[in-house]
């Protein structure tokens, strides 16, 4: 995970941990009066799209953008402002529930792992881009996907 000031390019905080783990402590004081974005990768065994946990940005008043990279594309999640913890958790729960439903339907219809992965990437990507209200407390949640 890397935090940087997107107006200057200054790296503010960076940490690397073992695959399949998260971690790193940071001092939010370092983020004051800066335009902050974070960058992290979804490794080869993960889908490219944001997971429900990636929407923690909704509660991080100091962070405007999260960039998620993968082998095939990258996503930009943008949100300026913040929402309360309970609202963020509810939002994440609803997205997780919808993703699980999509996952179940695809796995019920297909058996080939490559087809399942391709369909998951496409259907959940389309869901995130086009199928839910992105207005949260009068602030817009921006989701952008760019193929590599």
Domain that includes residue 35, residue range: 2-147
Listed residue (8, 19, 11, 10) closest to 41, CA to CA = 19
Domain count, the chain: 1
- Torsion on CA atoms 20, 80, 64, 79, rounded to nearest 10: 40
**pTM as predicted:** 0.82
**Measured distance CA(21)–CA(13) in Å, rounded:** 17
In order along its 148 residues, the chain shows pLDDT tens digits of 888 999 999 988 887 766 655 555 666 557 778 898 989 887 776 778 888 888 888 888 888 999 988 878 889 999 988 888 888 888 889 899 999 999 999 999 999 999 998 999 899 999 999 987 787 877 888 999 998 7
Supply φ then ψ for residue 134, to 5 degrees.
-105, 15
Contact 73, 48 (CB under 8 A): yes
């Amino acid at each position: 995970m890397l935090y940087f000031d997107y107006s200057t390019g200054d790296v503010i905080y960076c940490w690397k941990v073992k695959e399949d783990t998260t971690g790193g402590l940071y001092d939010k004081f370092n983020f004051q009066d800066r335009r902050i974005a974070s960058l992290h990768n979804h490794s080869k065994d993960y889908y490219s799209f944001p997971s429900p946990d990636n929407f923690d940005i909704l509660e991080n008043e100091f962070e405007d953008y999260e960039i998620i990279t993968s082998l095939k594309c990258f996503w930009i999640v943008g949100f300026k402002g913040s929402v309360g913890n309970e609202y963020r958790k509810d939002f994440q729960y609803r997205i997780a529930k919808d993703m699980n439903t999509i996952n179940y339907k695809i796995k019920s219809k297909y058996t080939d792992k490559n087809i399942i992965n391709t369909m998951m990437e496409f259907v959940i990507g389309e869901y995130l881009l086009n199928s839910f209200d992105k207005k949260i407390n009068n602030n817009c949640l921006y989701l952008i996907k760019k193929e590599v």
